[in-house]
Amino acid sequence: MPCIWKPRNEGDAPPSAAAMAEELNVSPLIVEILWNRGLTDVTEMDRFLSPLLRHMANPAEVPGLTEAAETIAQGLAEGRALAVWGDYDVDGITATAVIKEFFALRGQDVMHHLPNRMEEGYGMNVEGVERLHEQGATMLLTVDCGISDIAPVARARELGMTVVVTDHHLPGETLPEAHAVCDPRLSDGGPCDDLAGVGVAFMLVVALNSLLPGDKVDVRPLLDLVALGTIADIVRLTGQNRILVKNGLLVIKDAKRPGMAALKVVSDYDRQAELGAGQIGFHLAPRINAAGRMGDPEKALNLLLAKDFDSAMPIAEELNAINMERRRQEQEIADQAMAQAETMRHMAGLVLYAEHWHPGIIGIVASRVVEKYYRPTLLLCAPEAAGGLIKGSGRSIPEFNLHDGLAEVADVLEGFGGHAQAAGVSLKPENLEALRERFNDHVVATLGAKPLTPTLKLDHELAFSNINNTLLKELELLQPFGMGNPEPVFATRPVRVAEHALFGREGEHVKLVLEDQESGAKLPGKAWRMADSLTRAVHNRVMRFAFTPKIDRFRGIPSIDLRIRDWIF
């Protein structure tokens, strides 16, 4: 939908920008972009451009982590058998893989459990705890879950298990009575408060590496898992996450992990291709996520822990096929959800429902609805495993805290949890209409009755004559892009639409060639999922576009390409 264009920073870059650029050996434009992101001195900028592992915080700065590491070390010294309980999404699967591989490097096997989304749902459950105990586990470590699992933790304690909870989700008023509870969100602020679950798991193994007897192992090869899980969980890619992801992307490039190499191959990349966070998030992560969304997350874990490429490749191909089916179902659900949303354009908050929608896919579709209609959205379904309850996923816009909003309507819900921008809910069928009405009322009370217009923040106006490979390579220094560090967006001067063509499934994307009116320079651009609004009528028109310049490496030949974000006449 159309956006309001605003400069990312209303102030001007400092007079010293040119000198700072010379000291950093970059162009003044890069300094201005960093300045617009709140970095105000050369030291900060240098650390941003070169986020080295030595800049990582001490693991002890994660609330509860020291106690967690010491409890595990003591339990192992007592001869306790460790089991790790993860989650079915990329963050939980990679966190589980980090723990298992760390202990494997130390010659120790660790049991694990990844819940089946369709049968068990999110988090821990008593039955699964009891099964692990029956299999011989006497110490239980959670990763990416556990902070709200009061009853399962209590049952593990009843069975005599030592329990350590590591999570990164918002804690409730009551914490589980584990022997140690580690969660960055147990305190406000701090350098580690935005870690994903896999980031917490990595910090834990760093601490354990110093505590456990014997020689330390090299944990740097685990950073590919950390980068994959962190990018997929859409946490802020600043601070500690930036360091972890930036260094993890280097490990992904090398692809010494057989499973990562196979994952890149089925995603149509070369085994040693250099990938950005966007490529990881849109291509690699969905294939891992598809396993948990559509059925068995064990397949994804087996891929990541595969010992050689020959055994990894068949698993990767199976995940690729599962992801293709996921995409087919996603489009089917999206078509139906958008049709429902069209009938509710008068509402400020959307609650969409169909009994048959797949519970593992509705979160993705909710994001697409928010992208199109720019209003908080809940997508609900009634899976058989829910025991008669309606289950759902929600996504929001920056102006509306979804977790707080659901807290306001908690009396018509059976449960909810999540973050400011994403959450999960469950409710009784008879409360559906009440939720729809109450949720909309609360959004109206918070934001007003008229749906908001998204704001697109621009870094700078950029003439085509200034776009070259040198600039694009400098822009890549700002990677990884994501929440907290968005891709730079520039505005064109007036340009003519010299060519217009549709491509993709049913012609949903637009390919353009734009001609700068002043210099006559021409550059190609692509507008994804914009065929309905960027129609053939714009051909030969003079317009201004908001865009992000990219190096397109399609078929191995680098070329300049513009990703079209918005336009004005």
pLDDT in tens, 450-465: 889 999 999 999 999 9
One-letter amino acid of 121: G
Burial-class residue 186 by CB neighbours within 10 Å (0-12, 13-18, 19+).
Answer: middle
pLDDT of residue 437: 97
Contact 147, 175 (CB under 8 A): yes
Q: Where in the chain is the domain with CATH 3.10.310.30?
A: 343-447
The two tokens of residue 158 are 């009843």
What is the CATH topology of the domain spanning 4-50+456-568? OB fold (Dihydrolipoamide Acetyltransferase, E2P) (2.40.50)
pLDDT at 101 over 70: yes
**CA separation for the pair 395, 365 (Å, rounded):** 9
Which residues contact residue 2 at a Cβ distance below 8 angstroms, ignoring those fewer than 6 apart?
Answer: 453, 566
**CA separation for the pair 252, 229 (Å, rounded):** 12
The percent of residues above 70 in pLDDT, for the chain, comes to 99
Contact 512, 492 (CB under 8 A): no
The residue ranking higher by pLDDT, 418 or 279, is 279
pLDDT of residue 555: 61
Burial-class residue 569 by CB neighbours within 10 Å (0-12, 13-18, 19+).
Answer: exposed
SS3 state at 140 = strand
Write the CATH number of the domain with boundaries 59-254: 3.90.1640.30
Q: Where in the chain is the domain with CATH 3.90.1640.30?
A: 59-254
Give me the residues paired with residue 391 across strands.
381, 426
Span 294-343, pLDDT tens digits: 878 999 999 999 999 999 999 999 999 999 999 999 999 999 999 999 99
pLDDT of residue 483: 87
Span 495-518, pLDDT tens digits: 999 999 999 988 999 999 999 988
pLDDT at 116 over 80: yes
Burial-class residue 299 by CB neighbours within 10 Å (0-12, 13-18, 19+).
Answer: buried
pLDDT at 373 over 90: yes
Q: Which of 239, 240, 198 is nearest to 222 (CA)?
A: 198
pLDDT of residue 360: 86
The two tokens of residue 299 are 């397949």
Per the listing, tokens 């390579």 go with 473
**CA separation for the pair 370, 3 (Å, rounded):** 14
pLDDT at 553 over 90: no
Q: Stretch 50-56: mean pLDDT, rounded?
A: 95
Contact 459, 31 (CB under 8 A): no
**CA separation for the pair 369, 335 (Å, rounded):** 10
Span 215-266, pLDDT tens digits: 999 999 999 999 999 999 989 999 999 999 999 999 999 999 999 999 999 9
pLDDT of residue 124: 95
Q: Where in the chain is the domain with CATH 2.40.50.460?
A: 4-50+456-568
Write the CATH number of the domain with boundaries 343-447: 3.10.310.30
The percent of residues above 90 in pLDDT, for the chain, comes to 84
Q: Regarding beta strands 111-113 and 82-85, do their DSSP bridges make them parallel or antiparallel, or are they unpaired?
A: parallel
The residue ranking higher by pLDDT, 55 or 170, is 55
pLDDT at 554 over 70: no
Confidence bin at 149 (pLDDT 50/70/90)? very high
Residues in the chain, overall count: 569
SS3 state at 569 = coil
The two tokens of residue 333 are 């659900």
Mean pLDDT of the chain: 94
The secondary structure element, H or E, covering residue 387 is none
**CA separation for the pair 548, 361 (Å, rounded):** 29
pLDDT at 385 over 90: no
pLDDT of residue 562: 96
Contact 300, 93 (CB under 8 A): yes
